[in-house]
Amino acid sequence: MFGSFDEKFWKDQSVVTREGHAQALAALERAKRAGKPVQMGWLGRGLQVVNKSQPCVMKSRGLVLWKEPGVEAALSVYHRL
């Protein structure tokens, strides 16, 4: 997966923020360091295929951290919600 935080794209809404994106990245890093499975998902059409000949290569414009008791997941968002 390729990703970045597209600040101009998200500037007029409150769901995807730079702070939330950083928190989601930190959660992914913690899972990796702990050797735990990465909890990853998406909201809406949260990922964009980069190349149709490689459908498993995706691009994200921002991440949101989702927390529930005992669960922490990074959710990708590509299109506006």
CB atoms within 10 A of CB 7: 13
Q: What is the count of structural domains for the chain?
A: 1
% pLDDT > 70, the chain: 96
Using 50, 70 and 90 to split pLDDT, how confident is the model at 35? very high
- 2 falls in which pLDDT band (50, 70, 90)? low
pLDDT digits (tens, 9 = 90+) for 16-26: 899 999 999 89
Distance CA 71, CA 81 (A): 23
Neighbours of 49 (CB within 10 A): 12
pLDDT of residue 1: 63
Residue 6: give the domain boundaries: 2-77
Mean pLDDT calculated for residue range 64-76 = 89
